[in-house]
Structures are given as C-alpha cells and as structure tokens.
Amino acid sequence: LMPPKNTADYIITGSWSKKAVKEAKRVGTVNIAASTEGENFKRIPKQDELKLDPEAAYVHITTNNTIYGTQWHKEPEVGNVPLVCDASSDILHKKIDVNKYALIYGGAQKNMGPAGVTLVIIRKDLLGRSSDSLHTMLNYKTHVENNSLYNTPNTFGIYIIGLVAKWVAKLGGLDAMYKLNKEKAEVLYGCIDASGGFYKGHAEKDSRSLMNVTFNLATEDLEKKLIAEATAAGFDGLKGHRSVGGLRASIYNAFPKKGVEDLVSFMKDFQNKND
C-alpha cells in the first residue's frame, strides 16, 4: 500500500502498533502521527493530538491493545487518506462500518477461531498499489486473484471460523455480541472502580478495552498472592504482561458473562481478606 517515495502515518498505542511500524519501515518512510508510549500506553490519543499528513499513503491504527488494555472506540478522522487497521484482538466484538476503512486485517486467534488464519477486508481500488517487488505470498492481489487458494489454505481453521460465525449469528449477531461484551466489561470495571483504590485500572476510562481489562494492586507481593489464589480457584492466566505488570483479565467473545461474575466475586472476597 506504500508507493515509492511516499510516507505512511502510524498511530502508536501499544506493542503491536510498534511492531507494525518496524515492519513498515522495511518498505517505506513512516511518520509517527501520535504515540502515548510516554504515558505507558494508558490511553488512546485524542483527535487534536494527531499530526496527520494529508498526503500520506495511509493511516494505520491497532484497534485494541491487549497488553495495556486500551481500545479505539471511534475511528480517527483522517480525511481522504485511506485508513488501515489491525483488528486482530477485537474483530467481531461489535459491528463496524467497513466503509470507513480502506483495509482491515486480523488474525483469527482471539475472536474468530484458531491461530493460523488471517481475515483481510480490502478496498478493491487499493489492490493496484501492490508493488511488484513484494514477495508473491505477501501481496494481497495474489490472494484476491486466486480466491484465497494460491497456496493450500488452513481448511480446518477456516471451517472453525465458519462455526464461530454461525454461533455469533445464533446469539443475535454482532449487535447482541457487543451488548454482551459491554455487560461483561461493565461488571469487571465496576468492581475495580468500587474497590476504593484496592484495585487500580491501568487504562484511562474513556480508553478502556472491552476485551482486555488491566489493573494493579498496591504491591507486587499482593498481586502475586492474588494470582496464586486465583489460579487455585480456577481463574488462570491473570498475570499481566511483563511490560505493565499487575493483572490482566482477557474477556474475549467466547468468555461467558458468568465467568466474569465469578471472577468479580473472587476479587471482592480477596479484597475483604486483604484490605
């Protein structure tokens, strides 16, 4: 998507957007339109903070930041510049207007199905930008022209994605999925906010993710105690990423509301015993 001698705008909101910048620099020039790294990625940049180039080849965002627990809840306004997003960790969590995007790509492994499949939604007019210098397998045009069958596809992974899509439809579609995801997140964030500071959320409230809830306790020892007791109680995988520390509860589409309610019950009990 980046023609020769052109520049692309990247908005850095976490680890995966930083990785995207590293890869983009292999093929062209990158302009960092905004970054919240100096604040340990606790929020999404405001519109008036974006230093966008109206001549940029595209603007790239990562919609959900799994490590830091932040999420774009509204697309940035980018004018006529194509908007590109990595939606790997929140795709299918709600209905989105694909017309606002030039390209959406996402790995299946969080909300769609098993690892090993990537979904790409691309505006047809952008296929002509593909450089002949790209490796054949890395060219979207290759896969479009061959109906995603240029190589032997991950048939089992694609089959499972089909089953997941039917499951979402049975629940009532993406609007129902979004309603459920909001309810789950509200239960967990409500517990954190009502704890009187015993639990402290990492992300600013208007940037909070519906998929990954990150929070800390007063001391690292107390966090280790909670993780150990939670694991013993059946709540596994709560340890936060090493770059943030603390705890992280990932409540993707498949995680049931009852599981969130049980976790909150455990958290309240833990606070009563340790506050």
CA distance 114 to 105: 15
Residues facing 34 on adjacent strands: 11
Coil, strand or helix at 11: strand
Residue with tokens 């680890």: 15
CA distance 130 to 140: 8
Residue 102 CB contacts under 8 Å (≥ 6 apart), including other chains = 1, 58, 82, 83, 84, 122, 123, 126
CA distance 238 to 132: 45
The structure tokens listed for 250 are 């990932």
Question: Could you tell me whether strands 103-107 and 200-201 are parallel, antiparallel, or unpaired per DSSP bridges?
Answer: unpaired
Residue 138 lies inside a defined structural domain of this protein:
yes
Residue 42 lies inside a defined structural domain of this protein:
yes
Is 104 in the same domain as 222? Answer: no
Look at residue 71 and tell me whether its pLDDT is greater than 90.
yes
Is 25 in the same domain as 153? Answer: yes
Tens digit of pLDDT for each residue in 85-128? 999 999 999 999 999 999 999 999 999 999 999 999 999 999 88
Which range of residues forms the domain containing residue 67? 7-168
CB atoms near residue 197 (< 10 Å): 10
Confidence of residue 4 (pLDDT cuts 50, 70, 90): confident
> Is the model's pTM score more than 0.85?
yes
Residues facing 181 on adjacent strands: none
User: Of 108, 142, 168, which residue constitutes the final position of a domain?
Assistant: 168
Is 161 in the same domain as 32? Answer: yes
pLDDT at 133: 80
Closest CA to 31 of 57, 70, 49: 57
Residue 71 lies inside a defined structural domain of this protein:
yes
For residue 91, what is the domain's CATH number? 3.40.640.10
Look at residue 242 and tell me whether its pLDDT is greater than 90.
no
The structure tokens listed for 119 are 């979904």
CA distance 253 to 21: 28
Is 119 in the same domain as 51? Answer: yes
Residue 155 lies inside a defined structural domain of this protein:
yes
- Asked if residue 14 lies in contact with residue 243, where contact means CB atoms within 8 angstroms, the answer is no
Look at residue 267 and tell me whether its pLDDT is greater than 80.
yes
CA distance 80 to 61: 16
Residue 80 CB contacts under 8 Å (≥ 6 apart), including other chains = 54
Residue 178 lies inside a defined structural domain of this protein:
yes
Is 205 in the same domain as 125? Answer: no
Residue 1 lies inside a defined structural domain of this protein:
no
pLDDT at 182: 98
Is 11 in the same domain as 91? Answer: yes
Is 107 in the same domain as 211? Answer: no
Angle at 268 between CA 262 and CA 269, to 5 degrees: 90
pLDDT at 132: 78
DSSP string, 163-191: HHHHHHHHHTSHHHHHHHHHHHHHHHHHH
User: What total of structural domains would you count in the chain?
Assistant: 2
Is 43 in the same domain as 119? Answer: yes
Run of H or E residues at 215 = strand 212-216
pLDDT at 5: 78
Tens digit of pLDDT for each residue in 18-45? 999 999 998 899 999 999 999 999 999 9
Active site residues: 16, 86, 110
Residue 2 lies inside a defined structural domain of this protein:
no
Is 193 in the same domain as 151? Answer: no
Is 77 in the same domain as 57? Answer: yes
Is 88 in the same domain as 158? Answer: yes
Is 150 in the same domain as 233? Answer: no
User: Of 112, 134, 168, which residue constitutes the final position of a domain?
Assistant: 168
